[in-house]
Amino acid sequence: MRRLRYTLPALADLESILDTIAARSPQGARRVQARIQGVIDLLAQHPFIGTRTNDPAIRRMTTAPYPYLIFYEATDSEVIIHAVRHAARDPAGMPGASDQSSSGSAEA
């Protein structure tokens, strides 16, 4: 199983998503958090199950039944979570779009 690492933007995405949901439904936020974490844990075991993006290094995975996309990169030793975004957001600003660059990271 590969090690998980979150970029700082990915951690900010998660915090924003969960804070927004928790303002209306703390229980709903816990369910969404559990689903997102479950998918991320699955990626650590099976890193190539996600769909490729325009950037060959970046893949994405859905968090059905919730409308979030996890953008990640799989290396030989780790899975790097680059972003967690609502599926309705403009795809041009998401990781894997042709003009994206990465920034800082944090380990999990």
Q: pLDDT tens digits, residue range 27-72?
A: 999 999 999 999 999 999 999 999 999 999 999 999 999 999 999 9
27: exposed, middle or buried (C-beta count within 10 Å: 0-12, 13-18, 19+)?
exposed
Amino acid present at 6: Y
Strands lying side by side in the sheet with 3-7: 51-52, 58-63, 66-74, 78-86, 3-7, 105-107
- Of 7-11, 23-27, 52-56, 93-97, the poorest mean pLDDT is in 93-97
Q: Which CATH superfamily is domain 3-107 in?
A: RelE-like (3.30.2310.20)
H or E, element range at 43: helix 26-45
Strand locations in 64-103 (E): 66-74, 78-86
Question: Could you state, in order of their start, the residue ranges of all structural domains in the chain?
Answer: 3-107
Q: Tell whether pTM > 0.75.
A: yes
The predicted pLDDT at position 97 comes to 75
